[in-house]
Amino acid sequence: MQYHPQPAPGTARPWAFPAPERGALPNGLTVLRCHRPGQQVVAVEIFLDAPLDAEPEGLDGVATIMSRALNEGTDKHTAEEFAAELERCGATLDAHADHPGVRVSLEVPASRLAKALALVAEALRAPAFAESEIERLVRNRLDEIPHEQANPARRAAKQLSKELFPATARMSRPRQGTEETVERIDAAAVRAFFDAHIRPSTAIAVVVGDLTGIDLDALLADTLGDWSGDTAAPRPAPPITADDTGRVVIVDRPGAVQTQLLIGRIGADRHDSVWPAQVLGTYCLGGTLTSRLDRVLREEKGYTYGVRAFAQVLRSSAPDSASGATGAAMLAISGSVDTESTEPALKDLWTVLRTLAAEGLTDEERETAVQNLVGVAPLKFETAASVAGTLADQVEQHLPDDYQAQLYARLAETGTVEATAAVVNAFPGDRLVTILVGDAARIEEPVRALGIGEVSVVTG
Amino acid sequence: MPMGHTATAQAGSGGLTATEHRLANGLRVVLSEDHLTPVAAVCLWYDVGSRHEVKGRTGLAHLFEHLMFQGSGQVKGNGHFELVQGAGGSLNGTTSFERTNYFETMPTHQLELALWLEADRMGSLLAALDEESMENQRDVVKNERRQRYDNVPYGTAFEKLTALAYPEGHPYHHTPIGSMADLDAATLEDARTFFRTYYAPNNAVLSVVGDIDPEQTLAWIEKYFGSIPSHDGKQPPRDGTLPEVIGEQLREEVREEVPARALMAAYRLPHDGTRECDAADLALTVLGGGESSRLHNRLVRRDRTAVAAGFGLLRLAGAPSLGWLDVKMSGGVEVPQVEAAVDEELARFAADGPTPEEMERAQAQLEREWLDRLGTVAGRADELCRFAVLFGDPQLALTAVQRVLDVTAEEVQAAAKAQLRPDNRAVLVYEPVEPAEPADAADTDETDTDAHEGADQ
């Protein structure tokens, strides 16, 4: 073939993260809307202010069962009818409970938005919470738990939460409850949780998609506008604390062919001015196949299919809220390595962290990271669902509606020194809790010899 | 570069259009304009997958796909990843039974870079391919296999069912990930031969979709790909056709350390690209797609014998497609009880067919899935390549949803009657055992529905 020199880029066409229009319905529901031409599948995200730490003592999982029950019948439709009506619209509806609250996500072709939104409104206004359906959801949830326990990545995540957070904190325990707590949940408990926490005045709906020819105001008035409820006092958000004393916990899986790694602690959330630098630095450490970790662990040594470093906000509140800025993000490194390579992989991983702390990032690394993080934005936000998800995250984390748009500007301004400081602070080699789900008989002794912290073994 | 179809929207295409072109070296090119977002997707399908592999070299197509990211004539080491990501793009490659695809989604102004990179490796991969990257990527792929299949519960179910559903010696008898022994056995010379055999412009389709200037794009494609010589070294894959029904129920019981009993089955179904396959898709959707399906209502809601129950469809063009049943059972429930209920539901459906409401729901669900797939430039580029490579006509991608909506209830019933029968399936039953001796590495477990398609870079 004839070789040609690498082409130079053309002129970039400007792109900006879409600015939503904010408004409110008479019932107090806040609405963010965003018209995205060409996106025929409309995404609706509804945030409900029902955080996990609002669950009554001993009833972990009630928020999850309530969320699932929103899909299981109303005053007008039985559970089977409700599912059938939604699917007749070509819609999908998911609801799940997490630390900040409950998120209800609807996706539906624009032509059937009115009908699907009417069903969602019905579920929020008058959920049936029939005893037999709740009983079924509870049994179903109990059946799911062994599947989660068996999955190495899920098992590791559960153990890390248990290690990091004080036993009294809701965050230390599984989001969807344990066998012991889920068993106690009944229709009355679900109803009580709903009555106490679900109301339009503390909810926010985000609607994104091609809204051409849709009278969204009229449509909202007829659907979510019909949902009523009282007002509520602002909810306190207790500070998140974690014990990140460097240590290793092995979750024993005799015979496992791989070791699942999850190495983490907590750190800054989006309200902290360090966030853009932390994003940049974390990307350089482990954001992709060519980041520092995979360059060694995957592309040089072949120990893994891939290791990633990331920051995931657990819960956030604004500095000017009643409790102040009490949020935090989980900072973690995750991946799996073949059993034999567990010790050498961890050794290399710590060498990467120490080298980073000693020598810092290079300008070139920083430049590539900025180009990628900023440059991929138009790709990342092509669909309505991705835009709606990010807008709802902002709302959930008490961030301004232009946060994401501003973030790109701030990333571009972040220098190499700031990014280095942020990632070194985020992942200090001596303040990381390491969870290893693997064959203790084969990995315990070599890992102990590494000196990355005290080693303990728990059963799988 | 003769122009093929003109850019006129067909009925049911949602206003999307595509034009077709062919370079002198045989490279087929499909272009589709969409200026809503300043991005462009490049997708390249090579007409080679695990069905082309020979005995003793399973997994080679996928291992080779990894090697395509290890540098080429003018691109050093991981340069392909570094350059695309540094340009604000995203990229990957995947391998399935029937094809290997490579794709980049770029900001519009970086489109030319992606074309240059794809051409460089199509034309000059062997200039960079060495023992070091072969050994490294062999280890990476073995860890991919462990992570996605061997170290998760039910992980090897798909591999086991495929081996049951397609007889020994059939090109689809093994899955794209391959066996550990064959991954170990592959040599650098195997990889070189594989490239020389299958990686040629006349064995590929390139699609570019999004915010593009078609004339400029075509000129770049001619510039970068035009001098790559074509060759005809390719052997056609072994014939994958099989009788319409298996003719007996094939069965395997797996005793493993899994969290719950499971009943899985693969039904032999029509080849992709046929109206009968669309009808079967609708039948599976009514029976086991979503939360209003017959199996969900029966097993999860009413009998309460299953945690989850559903059907999926693995569409295949070169062999019968597979209807994939997956039921994870509730604690204490026995397999025969669930199996009898499944058979009863299938028999009832074959006897009565779908109700009008069920047809409406199934078609609405499949329509939304299509809108999702065509809603991104990358999804559209992939579908255009799919229809060009497998069925010779990319335009079919733009009307696929209409074909699903045209299928009648009678056709759906006929599909179920003909093929959703106990004597046309391979069954896999999981019986949990207590943890005992360390398991054999090649014999552990899970199912990841994404993995049915193949394996990502």
**Model confidence over A76-95: pLDDT tens digits?**
999 999 999 999 999 999 99
Distance, CA of A146 to chain centre: 22
Q: What is the DSSP letter of B47?
A: S
Q: What residue in B sits closest to A85 (Cα-Cα)?
A: B361
pLDDT value for B436: 54
* pLDDT category of residue B15 using cuts at 50, 70 and 90: confident
Phi, psi (deg, nearest 5) at residue B177: -70, -30
Does residue A385 lie in a domain region? yes
Chain A residues with CB-CB distance to B82 below 8 A: 290, 368
Answer yes or no: do A438 and A301 share one domain. Answer: yes
Q: Is B134 exposed, middle or buried (0-12, 13-18, 19+ CB in 10 A)?
A: buried
* Rounded-to-integer distance, Cα B326 and Cα B288, Å: 9
Are A174 and A289 in the same domain? no
Q: Cβ(B442)–Cβ(B180) under 8 Å?
A: yes
Task: Judge whether B259 is closer than 8 Å to chain A, CB to CB.
Answer: yes
Tell me the pairing of strands A247-252 and A433-438. Answer: parallel
Per DSSP, the three-state class of B57 is: coil
Site from B23, B130, B151 to mutate, A interface, most A CB atoms within 10 angstroms = B151
Domain boundary among A178, A195, A226: A226
Supply φ then ψ for residue A31, to 5 degrees. Answer: -125, 130
Residue A240 within any structural domain of the chain: no
**B contact residues 137-176, partner A, Cβ 8 Å cutoff:** 137-144, 146-148, 150-153
Could you say which of B143, B290, B304 has the minimum Cβ distance to residue A303?
B143
- Considering the domain architecture, whether residues A408 and A287 belong to the same structural domain is answered as yes
CA–CA separation, A202 and B138 (whole Å) = 53
Same domain, A330 and A207: no
Amino acid at A340: E
| Contact predicate A38/A398, CB 8 Å | no
Amino acid at B334: E
Nearest to A256 among B151, B301, B368 (CB): B151
- Is A266 a domain residue? yes
C-beta separation of A32 from A203 below 8 A: no
A264 & A133 share domain: no
The reply to whether A234 falls in a domain is: no
Q: Does A232 reside within a domain? A: no
Residue B446 pLDDT greater than 70, yes or no: no
Strands ordered across the beta sheet of B19-22: B19-22, B28-33, B204-210, B39-46, B100-107, B90-95, B455-456
Going edge to edge, which strands form the sheet with B250-256? B250-256, B425-432, B262-269, B321-329, B306-314
- Residues of chain A in contact with residue B86, where contact means CB-CB under 8 angstroms, are 367-368, 371-372
Question: Is the pLDDT score of B438 beyond 80?
Answer: no
- In this prediction, residue B457 carries a pLDDT of 55
Report which of residues B454 and A108 the model is more confident about: A108
Q: Which residue of A has its CA nearest to B141?
A: A305
Q: What angle do CA A379, A383, A384 make, to 5 degrees?
A: 140
Query: What letter represents residue B357's amino acid?
Result: E
Domains by residue range for chain B, with CATH: 19-225 (3.30.830.10), 250-456 (3.30.830.10)
Final residue of a domain: which of A192, A226, A260? A226
**For residues B57-68, average pLDDT:** 98
B44 contacts: CB under 8 Å, gap ≥ 6: B101, B102, B103, B118, B122, B204, B205, B206, B207, B385
Catalytic residue list of B: 65
Query: B356-374 and B377-391 helices cross at what angle (nearest 10)?
Result: 110
Q: Residue B82 above 50 pLDDT?
A: yes
State how many domains chain A has: 2
Domain end point (choices A195, A226, A257): A226
Distances (CA, A) of B156 to A143, A305, A335, B164, B309: 22, 18, 20, 12, 19
Query: Could you tell me how many CB contacts below 8 A there are between chain A and chain B?
Result: 235
Is residue A242 a part of any domain in this protein? no
pLDDT digits (tens, 9 = 90+) for B157-190: 999 999 999 999 999 999 999 999 999 999 999 9
Q: How far is B308 from chain A (nearest CA, A)?
A: 9
Q: What is the mean pLDDT of residues B201-211?
A: 98
Is the same domain home to A398 and A308?
Answer: yes
Containing B266, the helix (H) or strand (E) segment is: strand B262-269
Q: What is the CATH number of the domain that holds A407?
A: 3.30.830.10
Do the chains contact at B78 and A372, CB–CB below 8 Å?
no
Among residues of chain B, what percentage have pLDDT more than 90? Answer: 89
For B206, residues 6+ apart whose C-beta sits below 8 A from its C-beta are: B27, B28, B29, B30, B42, B43, B44, B118, B221, B225, B385
Task: For residue A240, give the 3-state DSSP assignment.
Answer: coil
Integer Cα distance of B408 and A223 in angstroms: 34
Alpha carbon distances (Å) from A306 to A56, B26, B138, B331: 40, 36, 14, 35
Question: Are A214 and A268 part of one and the same domain?
Answer: no
Q: Are residues A424 and A289 in the same domain?
A: yes
How far is residue A72's CA from residue A63's CA, in Å, rounded to a whole number?
Answer: 15
Residue A375 and residue A299 share a domain = yes
- In-domain check, residue A42: yes
Nearest alpha-carbon partner for A305 in A313, A293, A316, A314:
A293
Q: Is residue A14 part of a domain?
A: no
pLDDT at B5 over 70: no
Same domain, A59 and A94: yes
pLDDT band at B13 (very low <50, low <70, confident <90, very high): low
Going by pLDDT thresholds of 50, 70 and 90, the confidence category of residue B10 is low
What is the rounded average pLDDT for all residues in chain B? 92
Do the Cβ atoms of B438 and A298 come within 8 Å? no
pLDDT of residue B8: 53
Asked if pLDDT for residue B331 goes beyond 60, the answer is: yes
Chain A hits for B301, CB-CB cut-off 8 Å, are 79-80, 136
Same domain, A207 and A264: no
**CA A415-A420-A421 angle, 5° bins:** 100
Query: Are B37 and B377 within 8 A, CB to CB?
Result: yes
| B399 CB within 8 Å of a chain A CB | no
pLDDT at B447 over 90: no
Q: If pLDDT is split at 50, 70 and 90, which confidence band does B234 have?
A: confident
Query: A414: burial class by Cβ within 10 Å (0-12, 13-18, 19+)?
Result: buried
Q: What is the pLDDT of residue A128?
A: 98
Collect all residues with Cβ–Cβ distance below 8 Å to A100 and sequence separation of at least 6.
A47, A51, A315, A316, A396, A397
Give contacts of A303 with chain B, Cβ < 8 Å. 139, 143
Residue B261 and residue A456: Cα distance in Å, rounded?
32
Predicted confidence (pLDDT) at residue B14 exceeds the cutoff of 70: no
Q: Do A53 and A179 share a domain, yes or no?
A: yes
Fill in the amino acid letter for B412. V
Domain containing A318 equals: 247-459
- Lowest-pLDDT range of A137-146, A173-182, B361-370, B436-445: B436-445
* pLDDT score for B354: 98
pLDDT < 50: residue spans in chain A: none
Q: Is the pLDDT of residue B432 over 70?
A: yes
Give residue B364's identity as a one-letter amino acid code. A
What's residue B2's pLDDT?
A: 37
How much is the pLDDT for B445? 29
Nearest to B228 among A1, A39, A290 (CB): A1
